Structure 1
């Protein structure tokens, strides 16, 4: 288990915990050898399966085509096109999957070149198939990306990734030619993150397009893209992004270790990757941020963080993440510092209301009515006259109804969902008040709480606040204000012990770094944010000059 921080007079020490190592060394010898024997057996079984699945490349074209069809069970979308090279008797074939490969690339840059160029330079072509493959690769084919296949597994993976395979009869050398060309969604404005000011391009489901958007923003030769293959069956490409010379190398090592440990059938979305590599799966708080905005990813990478991209999803992970990041928006840096600071303070106020307002109302009305001003207390008592439920049941019914309306509005089509969310809330609230089930003050409390929760920039954080809100309501119903204080202490203990890639979640509140407070609650002028966050322990701390 990786600990990025150890508090020692405000200093940060990067180290590896030896607690797990001690546990391993304390295992008795019998258990150790049993485990080793099981590991050896599992490796042997895996190798046998791979040997059965992997077929060796042969020099016969017919046998190679038969093998590839057998491995894929002859699907309808597998296209095999056999032809001869010019007027010679050299047989060859291209194999690809319809829908994944670009037919224009195959026709214009592969087949057309082979047939036309081979006719014009027929005398120069070798009679030997091995030399013929070299000539086709070096002189005939005009495709940008290509390589020789080393195994049938590599051929199979390339076909399933949209590449085209070129077989030549008489040799076991096979060419893998890049021809990926499936349909992609165009670059659009992010749907889940409203852009008020800033770039309006968003990530899409194509990995190469997403890496292009990051490279277009960061033109640094030290920008690194490290690829992984994730998923036993899907073999999806995952890319780790960071800037060498800025990011802490220990952080990169830890991320590499966690990504290398992923073992699942398929990673459909980065949310699965997030849950696999996060520090505490029992916490409702997100420990890794996600976004659809390239400018947010570029800003985070330039700060010294790492980003994780996955093919097939527009959501990119950013790590590490702190509690202060959950209440920050990228627009805070695009507006003047006074406006950005006030908006952040407003978000902190919204977070407080979203978590504590219903529980405070329950505690004051049920246990501490003397703390309410007299006129307001009389008004609340008058509105609650005839309500058959205790205030806790009343709040629980309204909050549950609001959550149901919110979830229904998300799942329904957009035009209907917006109507359900607005009209449903008004109609149900008005009908409940008219029927005497809830009081008008409770409707106001629930409405203000819902509006405040919408002010959170991070959707995952807003979900966490919605979860712990019910815990605070139960605590308030049991013990009043004392219960709220107790629940608040429990949440703080949890947050202080929570980590993101080993970084304390409550940084820079605790441990506290005075330099990082310039961009925490208040956002100081850009000219004063000359250093990268200290808690990231970057190799290069300076990010801008002081001259104007």
Structure 2
């Protein structure tokens, strides 16, 4: 792997800072007074006072984020009553009083504030200058279900949820190794969003890990509401239309990429997990390719690669040929196209532009509307409006066919972020084809190819292993070779421990029962 591109240090934005810098005091009343000032006009913050003999305490938590039953079963009141004659300390409270996992102590008001807002319950006790935070979360979360954006015929049906620890546990179930490391960070001055960086020690390169950590630490922003925020803030080339970080809802996809030396970033509050670094060809591969027999996977991968070119260049090719290069069209087909376009008042470029924009609008409407209504709108738009446009003489029948094939081709791309990039690039290619014919189409294609070869994803060439060329790595690009031949991990992401299996795992040819020797 080449040396990583130095991350440009941008000017940090001014963000609201609510840190006080105060330490927790011995007097309970002073601590509660400070907390009430910080939580002024926050009706969901509860202060539950406990008195046990001479001992006074107060539990502070967010109503709706905690499980009241957990606090009751912890027996805090009863244990405080039993220890009313004892000189209480923070260590004693932690070890003897709080009967819940994930217990920690803090000396600063700011830390206690962040714990409360993170769903923890914080216990303040009189005459103790520390607070005890324990996990009694009880928020309602969406259950693990099948991913909606990455459906498959064969493979696991589970998908990520909006809970960070649920997502990390799904990955941990796939990779039951102590070499799977999970590093936690908090980003966002206002949201205090928890994120987790996952990698396998010994497979992920140390310089890659350091680069990812450095880019994440450089983020100073008021809010992180989805993993897309982080994706834009850490990618190599923010001006490129091509995605340089993969997102997925499937735990098996994350596990497979971790085993190839990549790094994953899990963000609390979203089911989309980031994977980096990536190459262009990863976006044309589906997890199902590795579960089906390799004959089927080879056919599907070749089909996807062919239809990527169809989705990108077919409308531009039609505009260029019908406008400037009619001699390239067979005579019978040329007469058919000419007769269908005889009553059309627009040139081929305008006709293609109208149809493509209409098709994209119908697709967007189908996505934004409720599922049942969205499907009806898509079918109605494709059938009724398309047929009516042809009969009205606004567009020609061949153009409807070209746009329909182009739309179907874009649906064959497994990753949505790559599919929408291809759909976007279709328009500048159509403009070049309408202005300069095939020369413009070739010029635009060469520009895209050059850009892909120059692009990097955390130091990894985006177009590898095709550019730069590596024949040994091509067995898992355009095709998916049999599993017994995929002995080595990709050299773009793993340098040391590249072997993933032993040699000679190809199944032997056995004799049929009842033949020689029987």
TM range (shorter): over 0.9
Runs of 4+ deviating beyond 4 Å: 15-18
Following TM superposition, by how much is the alpha carbon of 1:221 offset from its aligned partner in structure 2, in angstroms? 0.8
The residue that corresponds to 1:467 in the other structure is 424
Whether 2:87 is the aligned partner of 1:128: answer yes
Question: 2:55 is matched with which residue: 90, 97, 118?
Answer: 90
Question: 2:146 is matched with which residue: 178, 189, 201?
Answer: 189
Is the CA contact (8 Å cut-off) linking 1:350 and 1:453 kept in structure 2? Answer: yes
Following TM superposition, by how much is the alpha carbon of 1:50 offset from its aligned partner in structure 2, in angstroms? 6.7
Following TM superposition, by how much is the alpha carbon of 1:468 offset from its aligned partner in structure 2, in angstroms? 0.9
The residue that corresponds to 1:8 in the other structure is none
The residue that corresponds to 1:115 in the other structure is 77
The residue that corresponds to 1:35 in the other structure is none
Is the CA contact (8 Å cut-off) linking 1:114 and 1:136 kept in structure 2? Answer: no
Which runs of 5 or more structure 1 residues have no equivalent in the other structure?
Answer: 6-13, 25-37
Deviation readout 1:245-287 (Å, 9 max, x if unpaired): 0111111111111111111111111111111111111111100
Structure whose residues are more often helix by fraction: 1
The residue that corresponds to 2:210 in the other structure is 253
The residue that corresponds to 1:77 in the other structure is 44
Choose 134-143 or 92-101, whichever is displaced more: 134-143
Following TM superposition, by how much is the alpha carbon of 1:118 offset from its aligned partner in structure 2, in angstroms? 4.5
CA RMSD of aligned residues (A): 2.1
The residue that corresponds to 1:441 in the other structure is 398
The residue that corresponds to 1:63 in the other structure is 30
Q: Distance in 2 between matches of 1:417 and 1:430?
A: 19
The residue that corresponds to 2:113 in the other structure is 156
Following TM superposition, by how much is the alpha carbon of 1:126 offset from its aligned partner in structure 2, in angstroms? 4.0
Q: Distance in 2 between matches of 1:516 and 1:134?
A: 56
What secondary structure is seen at the aligned counterpart in 2 of 1:242? strand
Choose 471-480 or 286-295, whichever is displaced more: 471-480
Question: 2:248 is matched with which residue: 285, 291, 309?
Answer: 291
Following TM superposition, by how much is the alpha carbon of 1:95 offset from its aligned partner in structure 2, in angstroms? 1.1
Question: 1:101 is matched with which residue: 58, 63, 66?
Answer: 66
Closer/same/farther in 2, CA of residues 176 and 67 from structure 1, 3 Å limit: same
Question: 1:54 is matched with which residue: 2, 17, 21?
Answer: 21
Following TM superposition, by how much is the alpha carbon of 1:17 offset from its aligned partner in structure 2, in angstroms? 6.4
Is the CA contact (8 Å cut-off) linking 2:5 and 2:236 kept in structure 1? Answer: no
Q: Distance in 2 between matches of 1:513 and 1:114?
A: 64
Question: 1:174 is matched with which residue: 131, 145, 149?
Answer: 131
Q: Distance in 1 between matches of 2:135 and 2:370?
A: 38
Matches within 5 A, 1:397-416: 397-416=354-373
Whether 2:374 is the aligned partner of 1:417: answer yes
Question: 1:234 is matched with which residue: 191, 209, 215?
Answer: 191
The two structures have a TM-score, normalised by structure 1, of 0.89
The residue that corresponds to 1:324 in the other structure is 281
Q: Distance in 1 between matches of 2:41 and 2:239?
A: 45
Q: Distance in 1 between matches of 2:402 and 2:324?
A: 18
Closer/same/farther in 2, CA of residues 200 and 50 from structure 1, 3 Å limit: closer
Q: How many residues align?
A: 504
Q: Distance in 1 between matches of 2:411 and 2:278?
A: 20
Deviation readout 1:98-153 (Å, 9 max, x if unpaired): 011111111111xxx1333455x45xx544343xx443332232111111112000
Following TM superposition, by how much is the alpha carbon of 1:16 offset from its aligned partner in structure 2, in angstroms? 6.5
The two structures have a TM-score, normalised by structure 2, of 0.94
Closer/same/farther in 2, CA of residues 283 and 245 from structure 1, 3 Å limit: same
Following TM superposition, by how much is the alpha carbon of 1:408 offset from its aligned partner in structure 2, in angstroms? 0.8
Choose 166-175 or 271-280, whichever is displaced more: 166-175
Is the CA contact (8 Å cut-off) linking 1:161 and 1:180 kept in structure 2? Answer: no
What secondary structure is seen at the aligned counterpart in 1 of 2:186? strand
Following TM superposition, by how much is the alpha carbon of 1:173 offset from its aligned partner in structure 2, in angstroms? 2.2
Deviation readout 1:489-515 (Å, 9 max, x if unpaired): 111111111111111111011111122
Following TM superposition, by how much is the alpha carbon of 1:15 offset from its aligned partner in structure 2, in angstroms? 6.2
Following TM superposition, by how much is the alpha carbon of 1:228 offset from its aligned partner in structure 2, in angstroms? 1.1
The residue that corresponds to 1:9 in the other structure is none
What secondary structure is seen at the aligned counterpart in 1 of 2:266? strand
Whether 2:228 is the aligned partner of 1:263: answer no
Is the CA contact (8 Å cut-off) linking 1:515 and 1:534 kept in structure 2? Answer: no
Following TM superposition, by how much is the alpha carbon of 1:69 offset from its aligned partner in structure 2, in angstroms? 0.8
Question: 1:361 is matched with which residue: 296, 318, 327?
Answer: 318
What secondary structure is seen at the aligned counterpart in 1 of 2:492? helix
The residue that corresponds to 1:27 in the other structure is none
